[in-house]
Each structure stands twice: as structure tokens, then as C-alpha cells.
Structure 1
Amino acid sequence: MTAHDQIFDLKARMGQSIIGQTDVIDRLIIGLLANGNLLVEGLPGLAKTRAIKAMAKNLDARFSRIQFTPDLLPSDVTGTEVYLQGAGKAEFRFDPGPIFANIVLADEINRAPAKVQAALLEAMEERQVTVAGTTHKMEPLFIVMATQNPIEQEGTYPLPEAQMDRFLMHVNITYPPVEDEVDVIRLVRGEEQAAHAPAPDAKETPKEIAQQAVFDARAEIGQIHVSDAMDRYMADLVYATRTPARLSEDLGNWIEVGASPRASLALDKCSRTHAWMAGRDYVDPQDVRAIAHDVFRHRIALSYEAQGDGKVTDDITDEIIKLVALP
């Protein structure tokens, strides 16, 4: 099987346990292939954790879940030096924390204080962790997928802008349509019945998809053609968030702080991945527009006037896409 076939096999397997969230599955796979970290936000019960675990289950990768709580310590995430005695000698040895995995689920990341959140910064950006002056490298396949609840504020610690910017995309999960919710009920009921039913005859379980499929896909994505006009279009979209008044008076009043250069890099990576998943060897404006909301959602700071007008970042992105000229 080609890398493309294997990745779409992964997508199909995830779709068997996640109903009505096709866009979310696509975004998780784009994040994996683009070698970036994801912030997944949604109300309780919308399968944020389930979607990430479904990816890890079907991929030949080491999965780790960190439940963020107010009493968590940075060493609980990164690991620490342990003093060991035996055989006539004593030494400090590094005991790796749960961050040393291929797919790391940082569940309810905003429930831990800032110093614990900061423990993820080096791993997310530099793909390494430094403890007691020694640097420990992460594995080649490494991605942090963090979840948070957007409505619960009591006992939470909002992520600082510096860490938010390190997430490649901010994926928003919404309620499924009623038809899909019916399928969710049936799916979970079937899983419960299967768990209590007599063990069926042994069936060959599908083989996990090898990590090499991800690396091969990344190599192919690196060869996707991006024209000079598309480079300029992506840069224009990001630049528009910094000088919004040049596009319209409303945008000038609504945007407090624009996106950083990381947004341009994220647009490039994600649009190439989107084009590869669509079976094309070049990027067109539709690829950029398809992922622009996820790239901008956590990088644009809205003014009080925008919040007073009931605007959210997606509304601002819609307006920017409408006003920035196509190449």
C-alpha cells in the first residue's frame, strides 16, 4: 500500500469510532502529517479525547495521556532525576515522564498552572526536554494534542499567548447533527453489548499502521508544489491580521493583535497537507481557505469592541478571506 492509502485507512478506522466529526478527523491527521501540535477545544462529551485515542489506537505508536490538574508538577510531565543505590555505587538516573511518547494527550490542559503548562513548551517547539542540565531528545514521531473546555473558567489557568502560538492549529469541535447523534447512541450501545457478550471466535485484528507511513507521507508532502502567487496569498492573509484597518474600518476596530509569522508557516504546512490528502501535487487557494480558520483561531486577539459586537475569531477570518484578493 502507498503512504496515501495507509493514511486514508487510518482515517477510515478512526471514522468507525467517531461519528459525525469528519472535519475533526481530517484536522487531527493534518496535524500528524504536518508535524505540528494541536489544541482541540469543545464542550464536554464531544469526543475530543476519544478522537485522539482512536488515532493512537490504530497507529503503531506509543500513546500517553496526561490528565492536567491544579496540583500537577512540571516533573510529573517531563520526568526527573532519581537517585539510585546498589552494587556498591550510587548514581542519578533520569526517569522519563509521560511526555516521552509518540502521541501525547494533554487532557484539559488549562486546568494546570502556568509552570506546568510551560513544561510542555520546550518539548513542543524544540522536540527535547532539559532536566538537571541534561537534554533528552524526543522520538522522531512526536505530537502533543491538548484538549480544553471553552466554557468552564473556575479553577482553570488560561494558556499564555506564547504557548498558544506553538500549536499548529486550534481545532474547534461543535455539536453533531441530530442524525449523527442517533448513530452515536447506537455505536456506544453496540460497544457496551460487545463488552458483555461471550467472547467470539478469534478474529485477526487489523494490523496497526506503521510509523513509516507517516514519514513517507511527510516526504511526499514536502514535494507538493507551491507557486509564488500562493506564497504571496498566504502572506497577504497573515499580514491582513496585522494591518486590518487597510481592509475595512470594522476589521480595524475588531482586531487587537494580529497573527505571528508562525501563522504563515502553519498555513504553508497545512495547505500542502490538505492538497496531498485531496490527491493533488500542488496547492490552490481552496487548500489555504480550508485550514485558515484553524490556523488563525488562536492567533488573533479580538478587541473589546469585537466581543461587544458578538464577533468570534472565525467571523474575523471569514471577513479577511472575503477582502484579501485571490492570486
Structure 2
Amino acid sequence: MSRDPHAPTPLLTPRRTLVAALPYPLAALTVLLVYLSVRDRLPDPLAAHIGPGGTADGFSGHGSFLAVSLGLLLGGGVLFGLVTHWARNNPDAQRVLAVLVGGAAVVMGWIITALLLANAGAADAAHVTLPGLQAAAGFGAGVLYAAVGWPVCGKSPVAEAAEALPGHAERLDLADTESAAWTRVAGSRALPATGLGVLGIGVVTGVMSGWATAVLPLVTGALLTLLTGARVTADRRGITVAPVLLPWPRLNVPLERITEVTHRDVRALRDFGGWGYRVRPGASGVVLRSGPAIAARLATGSEFVVTVDDAGTAAALLNTLADRERTAGG
């Protein structure tokens, strides 16, 4: 059986799985060692949750606090290690997922450890405080881990592929009295993984530091998850891209702005540095994954691309409709 040429090499997937999963047991071990070193100085119950003002507003016994903390960390390591391994057929998403969930483990371990140290020596858990600086430091440590883990994960074969072949400006055979429209839903695997990772960070932040501090990652994660599918339409209005699950935002490139449309392969990381609505010098577009894309040359000289299956049919139809528009306009 032949191997998928776009899949990571056999050595990359274990490495990425390790980047994703290893911080969880290491964080669990750190939490356990810190607990054992300070347990004689901990109040009972101890402060298990810090509210928006930096003071304790939730309490727990020693056993339940340790069980929940270690359960989250060890369970997260198993879960996210498996998810990262299963994502091996989508190398771009796998690499992003590995550094995101690994960084989340660092944040979680940091905050739990800081909470234990804040409890140490307190006569009453109600007086325990945890400065917001600790949460910021935890996020900084998570970002640093992700930055180090990114090169460790290694470049995907997709990102190292040769330059894409030039597209072909084909036409669709339509009679003067005929009209046609083309539409298809384009999906993404990288954006849902990213959205779920950010949501996970938001949940951990809410549980450990208060929900007020978790608003940004929760909203960002929810939006990333919801904006992972788009309906692409080619018709007399030009190219229209709209989210599948939300009524907005909608993006339209009218026919009068289009000079020629081709179709070619686009690599999300190599060509645009990521996924979503992307802008780089001379080009912009909606890049939800790597693969076939509509590539429209605009009157301004720039390029607009949309990654979607059956891009060749859409390109041919748009060329025919754009020719008709120019003829009608004299």
C-alpha cells in the first residue's frame, strides 16, 4: 500500500505526538512534587479557585484538589496525544495542534503550581490571593513552549513542496442566452483544531483564575470553531465566500474586478503563512486548507484565492461570465 505523499514522514508523527503529550505528565509530576513539599503548610480546605479580584472564591479538600488536578493533566496527555497522532493525515493541522495543546499543558501546570504555593503558609484559605501576573507568566511560558516546539515538530512535506504549476485560464461553453452558477462548501481541519485548543486554554483559565480572564480565549476559540466552513459561489455576481454556520462576514469579488481566473494548488503555510482570511504582498484570499484553489487575477494586478474542491469548474465559469460582462460593457 502506498503512503500518502502529503502525510508526515514516519519520524514526524511520534515527534509531534511527544511535543503535544509530554508536558502533561511532566506538569502532573511537578504538581505532585510541589504538593508533597508544602502539604504540611497547606490550610484545609485550601483555596482551589481564584476570583476576578485575585482572591479565593472556591475551596476544596486536599484529596479532591490533587485528584482533579492530576486527572486533568494525565487525562489531557492521553487525549491530546491520541488526537495529535490521529491528525497525521493532515500535517499542517497536526503541527499546529501539537504546539497548542502542549502549550496549554504548560499554562495549566503553571497555574496549579502557583495556586499551591499561594496556599502554602496561609492560616485561612479565604485570605489566599494570586496576582494576575502569575496567569500572565503562565501564558508566557506556554507561548515559549509553543515557539520551541514548532521547529521540533519539523516541517511537513506539504510545506516543502515544489512551486505550484501555473494554472489554466479555461472557459465554460455557455450559449449567449444561458446562465449558470457554481457553489461548493469548503472546509478546514486546521482551524477546528486551533479553535478547540484555544477553547481548552479558555476553560483551564476560567477554572483556575476566574471566568472574567477567560473571555478572550473562549470567544476566540468559539469563533475559530464556527468559521471553519465556507460556501464558495461563482455566478454573475462574481466570487462570493460566506460562512456556513454564520450569516456574516460575507466576501464578494464582482466580475468587473476580475481579469482572468485560473486554478492551482495552494499550500496554506508555504504560500500564505496559515489559515483563514490571509493577506500578503500581491495576494489575498480565504485559505481554509492546502489543496486546489480558485486564483483570480484582479484589475489592480493583485490575486485573490479561495481554496475549494473542483476549482477548475468554478474558474472556467468565472472566465466565461467575466468575458460576457466585458462584452456587455463595451
Q: TM-score surpassing 0.5?
A: no
Structure showing greater Rg: 2
Normalised-by-shorter TM-score class: under 0.3
| TM-score of the two chains, using structure 1 as the length reference | 0.26
Where relative contact order (Cα < 8 A, 6+ residues apart) is larger, the structure is 1
